[in-house]
Amino acid sequence: MNIILGMGIILVFGLLSGKLAEKVKTPAITAYLLLGIVFGPFALGIISEHIIAVSGTISHIALSLIAFSIGQNFSGKIFRQVGNQVMWISILEAVGAWLITLVGLLFFKVPLYMALIFGAIAAASAPAAIIMVVREYKARGQFVDILMGVVALDDAWGLIIFSLSLAISKAMYLDLSSSIGNVLMGAIIEISGSFLVGGVLGVILSRIGLFLKNQTDLLIWTIGVIFVATGISLHFHFSVLLTSMFLAAVVVNLNNESFKFFDILNHIDWPIYLIFFVLAGASLEIDLLGKIGVIGIVYMIFRIVGKFAGTYLGAHIAKSDDDVKKYLSLGLLPQAGVALGMALIAKEQFPQAGNIIFTTVAATTVVYEIIGPFFVKLALHKTNQIHN
């Protein structure tokens, strides 16, 4: 099967699987993953190896768009709106999941560079799944407001933690004899380069975008700059995620009409995400599932413990209500797109261990996306936020 025919089949059956998922109240991302597994080389073989070979390019495009979308949450206006509670909780629940998962995996003899990556991925949640449940049950109230604020910032902190962890892990993995100072210097260079590229191109995107009134021109300009930022980052081995996120953060703080750069992408981004998630499912190495039993269980348990501990500590410091302390972490358990994207990057960077990381995260993502929405509903029910 040629690549164009393969992409067409992915889009058509992806749409159908997404509609079926709506009927049975399952997140669309879960449906795309399962479709990829069924159509992939380890099952029906409809998606062949040479189609999967282009998944790296698709992944970089999808992840740059995801990170750009997340970056809009780093506006001064949003930080002023979310308040003290959301800032404390969002930072500490992400850091808590990272550190506790890291320590838990180290206890089970997982190498440090792998544990760092797993811990960083644990910080991410699934905003789409959480928002879907809130909308479905028409939930509203102070608890929902805090939950939505934390969800908006959660993946942003997660991307920063992952970029730091990945830079350190790569330096450790590539040169095991390197000193801590050299490892940290390599990480600083990668992160600083990402900020520099994102910052400069963010100013250019924002300033020239002011003069583009035609929607088509604006779409071409926005995509073009995002692709240039992504391409430069790949060439110099900077972080694609950080570059795109900082690109968006600069735009949203420079331009009073920055929403137009993000709204315009809504016309083209979802087909890319669909292909990305289906190919992620097809890339899953089924034969590795039997080898990740302990790691997968440890990862899931310690991520949940980390989310609970970090949320409770943040809520305690911010003097939040008891309901927030007890139940907000239940609303942060779903995990999907950003975590998968992180795992795919790890798979690319670490030829051997990357397969185990990706397979573990992909398998646990399916579990999280199935059970996560039920815990979100439970949190809303316990806090009397459901009004339908």
Residue matched to tokens 């992408």: 265
| Count of structural domains, the chain | 1
Beta strands in the chain, from DSSP E residues, in sequence order = none
Q: Does residue 147 fall inside a structural domain?
A: yes
Residue 117, token pair as written in the block: 């990556």
60 vs 81, higher pLDDT: 60
Confidence of residue 175 (pLDDT cuts 50, 70, 90): low
Q: Does residue 207 fall inside a structural domain?
A: yes
Average pLDDT, the chain: 80
Q: What is the pLDDT of residue 181?
A: 64
Return the CA Rg of the chain. 20
- pTM tops 0.75, yes or no: no
- CATH value at residue 250: 1.20.1530.20
Q: Does residue 387 fall inside a structural domain?
A: no
Q: What is the pLDDT of residue 290?
A: 64
Q: What is the pLDDT of residue 227?
A: 92
pLDDT tens string 112-128: 888 888 999 888 887 76
Q: Does residue 105 fall inside a structural domain?
A: yes
Q: What is the pLDDT of residue 228?
A: 93
pLDDT tens string 132-157: 677 667 777 778 778 877 877 777 78
**Encoded amino acid at 120, one letter:** A
Q: Does residue 155 fall inside a structural domain?
A: yes
Q: Does residue 188 fall inside a structural domain?
A: yes
Domain hosting residue 240, numbered range = 3-382
With a CB cutoff of 8 Å and minimum separation 6, the contacts of 214 are none
pLDDT tens string 332-350: 887 777 787 788 788 877 7
Q: What is the pLDDT of residue 171?
A: 73
Full 3-state SS string of 47-60: CCHHHHCCHHHHHH
Q: Does residue 288 fall inside a structural domain?
A: yes
Which of 94-98, 149-153, 177-181 is predicted with the least confidence, judged by mean pLDDT?
Answer: 177-181
Q: Does residue 219 fall inside a structural domain?
A: yes
Residue 102, token pair as written in the block: 């890291």
Beta strands in 152-228, from DSSP E residues, in sequence order = none
Separation between Cα atoms, residue 253 and residue 72, nearest integer Å: 9
288 vs 145, higher pLDDT: 145
User: Averaged over 68-78, what is the pLDDT?
Assistant: 73
